[in-house]
Amino acid sequence: MSNTSPSELAFVPFVSVDNMMQLIHRIGIEEMLSGIAAYIEDDFKRWELFDKTPRVAAHSKEGVIELMPTSDGTTYGFKYVNGHPKNTKEGLQTVTAFGLLADVYTGYPVLLTEMTVLTALRTAATSAVVAKYLAPENARTMAMIGNGAQSEFQALAMKVICGVDTLRLYDTDPAATAKLMRNLQGLGMTLQPCKTAEDAVQGAEIITTCTADKQNATVLNDNMVGAGIHINAIGGDCPGKTELQVDILKRADVFVEYPPQTRIEGEIQNMPDDFPVTEMWKVIRGEAKGRISDRQITLFDGVGFATEDFSALRYIRDQLEGTGLFQQLDLLADPDDPRDLFGMVLRAQPEHKGAA
């Protein structure tokens, strides 16, 4: 029987959830958030190189399933991700994801990885990169409205990248706030649980809204937002799902990732098509103004964009060598003769005892 063992070209490194968690512990979560943030910032600076398109979404009454592709001309990446808010009540994750990098020249995948954990890291890193440019100088206190699966990552990214050291916490479920406080205990932040969202924003220089209902909601009212505040609105990320009263948008300078996607999915879906926004890559490259006054309200209408996943995937790829924290998956067919795929299949037929 011919040798049908896979060649080296058949294998693609795969990072499982367990290996991702081990990689986080090996590198350190704060260092990892900083590293991913640096990759995100670098990719914003080379924005014009990327293929850009709104993500492809399949909506249902239960949630949404999305594909998020992009390429910088050398490397291609995509993420599969869902958002099903009802899952939490069933003991399931609201968001699950996996992602892939491929070589543009050959089309061969070079990395496959879980992205449920990695998406939480990249979302937090993106928020902190944006806040670095838009938050009030020396901001130290953040209100965290919504204390679910994303909240600890957001808090630590803001700590390590922006210097936030005090969190004012509110969630409609007190158990979520208790969970957050338990998880962040001893990590160098002052944690202040609040009974209402109105209480949480008192004294905060940054407000992060990160809730999960698949509906238009009013998590933040206009009368809760004072002058000089920076808002990270990251929970509204699909049609019909927003968190802010529209009057806030009218008072704020709004910053977005990719307008064609954000106008469909973000807070600005409730505004006219010509509502003015500023793209973050322009701010990061110094081509547009970010925060220009102490009384300005800045608002990041963050929905998540494919380049940020691409950045996170690149970061993971670059950390793997020498760690052993991946499996080699026999993922790609690699026949000796590239024209003889069928022959490769034939030669893999098991031999049976007694066969003629």
- Would you please indicate which residues are annotated as catalytic (active-site) residues? 237
**Residue 26: count of CB within 10 angstroms of its CB:** 12
Euclidean distance between CA atoms 224 and 204, whole angstroms: 11
Tokens of 55: 């993500």
Euclidean distance between CA atoms 177 and 210, whole angstroms: 13
Euclidean distance between CA atoms 220 and 201, whole angstroms: 9
What's the CA dihedral at 157, 161, 163, 169 to 10 degrees? -20
Euclidean distance between CA atoms 346 and 272, whole angstroms: 60
**Residue 205: count of CB within 10 angstroms of its CB:** 21
Q: Match 């590293």 to its residue by tokens.
A: 35
Q: Which of 228, 232, 227, 189 is nearest to 207 (CA)?
A: 232
Euclidean distance between CA atoms 258 and 73, whole angstroms: 19
**Residue pair 32/121 in contact by the 8 Å Cβ criterion:** yes
Euclidean distance between CA atoms 252 and 23, whole angstroms: 39
Number of H helices, E strands in the chain: 11, 17
Pairing label, strands 230-233, 216-220? unpaired
Task: Report the DSSP beta bridge partners of residue 12.
Answer: 329
* DSSP characters over 192-248: EE-SSHHHHTTT-SEEEE----SSEEEEE-GGG--TT-EEEE-S--BTTBEEE-HHH
